[in-house]
Structure 1
């Protein structure tokens, strides 16, 4: 939904410019490093694979349509992104328990172990990048970034904006 001129002029344009610039810099840095972690695992899993594996780990087995809907992407994109994960044994395709014709995607034991390796590496990266931060600063940053991402997601899906509130922060 486009913003009205009144909405942006009522806010500090200099601050909005600084915010959009910092978001652009963050996106570039994130893409350059892929926020992949530290050591040998630094760039060992691309963003799409990480997000798909993470979702299957957190929410359990599901079909392509449910996975796509939950991630806000097209089913054909999920199918394309899942194929190499199946080929490498990180994800298993199984028959739906109630409809044998439907396919369910499930994180394999190998996928779960690989995901945990990458998570550990990324946790180490986050610890290093925020080394001088207090626990409250880390929590505040995570809360605000979660809120920012939720607002972007809602805007892309056409969902009306919600009143400001604190969202829960995932712990793993």
Structure 2
């Protein structure tokens, strides 16, 4: 059972995470309003996986992003129409289809990544290098623990 001090820290972390998520959602909504043809964040997330992880079947992509295959199908259709993703025959099973980022999809991903990195660097420019590295390390650690927390709670013997 957590102590009062641990719960107080958790409350502060939770409050700051909620604040950050709300700010990010507001920024995304503003961007969508200013760019009506922009790809939705969830749909863009599929492109990110295809660029980073390479071609894969729709079912594997749905599993990777923890989404429903029918939702993935609709989102992939949108990315295909935009020319960011293409469907090709699976060389291991010609009846199956692989999804892959196109050259344009990779270009869009790289451009968005560059802009994101420049914005974050600008936000953190007044931080020391040590603090910037610590933030990256702690965020990675928190995200990893966040991802694995439910699995540990369900299967405590594996920890």
Is the structural similarity TM-score above 0.5? yes
Matching residue of 2:83: 89
Q: Give 1:1-172 correspondences, 5 Å limit.
A: 6=1, 8-9=2-3, 11-34=5-28, 44-156=38-150, 158-159=151-152, 160=155
SS of residue matched to 1:147: helix
CA distance in 2, matches of 1:141, 1:35: 26
Structure 2 residue matching 1:104: 3-state secondary structure: strand
Cα gap change, 1:131/1:46 in structure 2, threshold over 3 Å: closer, same or farther? Answer: farther
TM-score (normalised: structure 1) = 0.76
Which ranges in structure 2 are unaligned for 5 or more consecutive residues? none
Per residue, is there more helix in 1 or in 2? 2
Aligned to 1:3: none
TM-score, normalized by length of structure 2? 0.82
RCO higher in 1 or 2 (8 Å CA, sep ≥ 6)?
1
Q: What are the superposed Cα offsets for residues 38-62 of structure 1, whole Å, 9 maximum, x if unpaired?
A: xx98x94432233222211111100
Equivalent pairs counted in the alignment come to 153
| Alpha-carbon offset, residue 120 of structure 1 | 1.2
Which ranges in structure 1 are unaligned for 5 or more consecutive residues?
1-5, 164-172
Question: What is the aligned-residue RMSD (CA, Å)?
Answer: 2.7
* C-alpha contact 1:36 1:44 (8 A) present in aligned 2: no
Structure 1 runs (4+) greater than 4 angstroms displaced: 159-163
